[in-house]
Structure 1
Amino acid sequence: MDFIRVMAQRMFSGKPEELKYTVINTFEDYEERRYAETKFASIEIKGAASYKDASVEGWKKLFAYLASGNDKKVNINMTVPVCIDIFPEIEDLTEMKMDFVVSFLLPEKHHTNTPQPKDDAIKIRSTPERVVYVRTFGGFAYDKEIKSEIQKLKESLGDKTFAKDVYYFCAYDSPMKLTGRRNEVWLVKE
């Protein structure tokens, strides 16, 4: 019953806290943004059959952490986006390894004295300030769409340099939202 109550609160409690950023430049089909240092609860999913499988498995475990599965036994509010680190198999970013890191942004009030996960697989990690190239797109995203959008972003960047060892898919909406969805792919500026 507690799971249902917590899930309902998160789905219907209004707009969730969102990762803050500053837009540096806006281009025709992408933005260059600066993100401050922040904290995430993250879990590594190895050998998943697809991005979708990794995201479902990671989401379930991270949701348990948010729903009092932590040392302080507190419910932690859902935030956006949910980010997934995707590791390319080859440098041109056309193929994914089937290892992912699924991450929930921690609300700012939990950046200090962060509740620690009961599940040892979940890690609290800080990300440094960084500049990111971001392409936004709608709809439901699966492996094919993510790969297509990252290729479009890469092509739009031309000769700009970015990290090639990882890219990010970020989702802002509940799976129950059918229209007007917001998704992003990120490449970290070098």
Structure 2
Amino acid sequence: MGSGSGHQPSATMIYLPGLVGLLLVFIADARVGNSTVEFCSETEQCLLFDLICETDKFEARHYDSVKWVSTDETSYIMEVAAMRAFRRLYEYITGTNENGQKMKMVAPVIVKISDKRFWERGTYTVSFLLPAEHQQNPPKPIDDKVYIHVMPKMEVYVLSYGGWMTSIADQNQAYRLSSDLDSVNAKYKKGFHYAVGYNSPMTLFNRHNEVWFVIEDEPECSSSRLVGLLLVLTVNARVGNSTIDFCWETEQCLLFDLICETDKFEARHYDSVKWVSSDETSCIMEVAAMRAFRRLQEYITGTNENGQEMKMVAPVIVKISDKRMWESGTYTVSFLLPAEHQQNPPKPIDDKVYIHVMPKMEVYVLSYGGWMISMVEHIQAYRLSCALDSVDAKYKKGFHYAVGYNGFTTFFNRHNEVWFVIEDEPECSSSSEEL
């Protein structure tokens, strides 16, 4: 909890959403950027991940889809194959590509290793991670043995170890990890694994290497400690503790990735999450929101099939369709479900209340203070639409979201937002800060 009241507010205290990014570069689902992980310290950018759980023997992590530059090499041992492949990839990032573009080295470097006997030849795929600024449109390789590879999002089991990543060391650590996973009946893809390195050959001490096995089905986290970003990764939901200064009145918040920020608006990415929602028709937002809010408050305070009480989570959002001021319109008010209820929320009893899965989306955001009343909200929505139109940004027309983070009893430092859903690629030109 941040500044302000030191207790959990009641449902009546929260009215309407926001969040700040995790210092990620988010381009075409890629998450490459600055990292606070101590073992990734030799490069300016690193591959970012969400830590799902950790046991005393292994971790489970989630990685988003990213692009790599890769090459294959056949040999009896990894060291020989990696040396040949490394040379080709290094030439690519130092300018041997169609644009003559030089790129920074990014950690980690990974080697995909298929299972084989020691005396057999095998194919090793070595990959360099492309920097954030080249994730969307990397220059084409000139060498026909070098190619761009899009690795889909995935969960992996991870075993970390020090020293040098030799064939013998990697095979021993891979055997250790597979044995530990088999002992808890964890499901993972067989037939290959990844050898992962974070250090330059010039680094003699405090080296960090990893073995990855790709997870199948749900991660096996029994006897684990939930750690990392304090997220609940359930049905892609990202709801958890936040360090954003404007989301301090609730224990949990809706988390997001900040794509870019200009002096007039932000662009953010939100993963798919579940909300409990209710529709109400009225001429003005305040009347509709008050009626819908009452029904949703009853749901989270126990009026559901399980009699389950839930904490309030920020933000609360109102979907507003375009209309003239004097016309009646339908307002959809939604409470964010807490992390522990994202997977299996209790069913509502009131037939005007329903569970809504909002798909992952990118939104343009304008933040403002004060009270979120109809007149102010419409002015702020108009301001944002004008700012977007001025840079030819593509966004969905016909509706927007009014988003609130504060309770009724909060009089100062209130935080509200307007959201427009992005169409096509986010428009980040003339941005004052791109992460």
TM-score by length of 2: 0.39
1:140 maps to: 164
CA distance in 2, matches of 1:96, 1:80: 30
CA distance in 1, matches of 2:126, 2:43: 21
Cα distance per residue 1:98-118 (max 9 Å; x no partner): 210000000111111211111
Conserved 8 A contact 1:87-1:96: no
Question: Which residue type is aligned with residue 115 of structure 2?
Answer: P
Q: Which has the higher contact order (CA 8 A, sep 6+)?
A: 1
Report whether the alignment pairs 1:70 with 2:94.
no
Conserved 8 A contact 1:84-1:170: yes
Cα–Cα, structure 1 residues 53 and 16, in superposed 2: closer, same or farther, change >3 Å? farther
Question: Which residue type is aligned with residue 91 of structure 2?
Answer: A
Report whether the alignment pairs 1:153 with 2:177.
yes
Count of residues in Structure 1 that have an aligned counterpart in Structure 2: 174
Cα–Cα, structure 1 residues 126 and 96, in superposed 2: closer, same or farther, change >3 Å? farther
CA distance in 1, matches of 2:51, 2:121: 30
2:108 maps to: 81
Structure 2 alignment gaps of length 5 or more: 1-41, 217-435
Structure 1 alignment gaps of length 5 or more: 1-13
Conserved 8 A contact 2:197-2:208: yes
Question: Which residue type is aligned with residue 34 of structure 1?
Answer: H
Instruction: Compute the displacement of 1:16 (Å).
Output: 3.0
Which of 9, 12, 15 is equivalent to 2:43?
15
Instruction: Compute the displacement of 1:181 (Å).
Output: 0.2
Conserved 8 A contact 2:65-2:151: yes
Name the Cα RMSD after superposition: 1.7
2:62 maps to: 34
Instruction: Compute the displacement of 1:97 (Å).
Output: 4.9
CA distance in 2, matches of 1:189, 1:132: 5
The structure with the largest alpha-carbon Rg is 2
CA distance in 1, matches of 2:102, 2:165: 28
2:77 maps to: 50
CA distance in 2, matches of 1:113, 1:168: 25
CA distance in 1, matches of 2:178, 2:72: 25
1:3 maps to: none
Percent identical across equivalent pairs?
29
Conserved 8 A contact 1:132-1:188: yes
Cα–Cα, structure 1 residues 95 and 49, in superposed 2: closer, same or farther, change >3 Å? closer
Q: Between Structure 1 and Structure 2, which shows a larger proportion of helix residues? A: 1
CA distance in 2, matches of 1:81, 1:114: 18
TM-score by length of 1: 0.87
Instruction: Compute the displacement of 1:89 (Å).
Output: 2.3
Instruction: Compute the displacement of 1:96 (Å).
Output: 7.1
CA distance in 2, matches of 1:132, 1:104: 18
Q: Structure 1 stretches (4+) deviating beyond 6 angstroms?
A: none
